[in-house]
Amino acid sequence: MAEEADKNARVYLRNFEEFHGPLEDDPGVLIKKFVDNGVKKFWFT
């Protein structure tokens, strides 16, 4: 059961990365990507 969930999560993340580009951990890179796509405000909660 856990192995199947892990496999499904990996497939989902792979598809997500193919569509949106590689996942980034650096907030500066993430914010730049959003700004490049026209996002003007960020709400941090």
**Integer Cα distance of 28 and 18 in angstroms:** 21
Task: Return the structure tokens found at 13.
Answer: 């993340």
Domain limits of the chain? 2-36
Q: Which amino acid is at 6?
A: D
**Integer Cα distance of 12 and 20 in angstroms:** 12
Handedness of CA 6, 7, 12, 13 (dihedral sign): positive
Predicted TM-score of the model (pTM): 0.41
Give residue-wise pLDDT tens across range 7-37: 888 888 888 777 766 666 677 777 787 888 8
**Integer Cα distance of 22 and 34 in angstroms:** 14
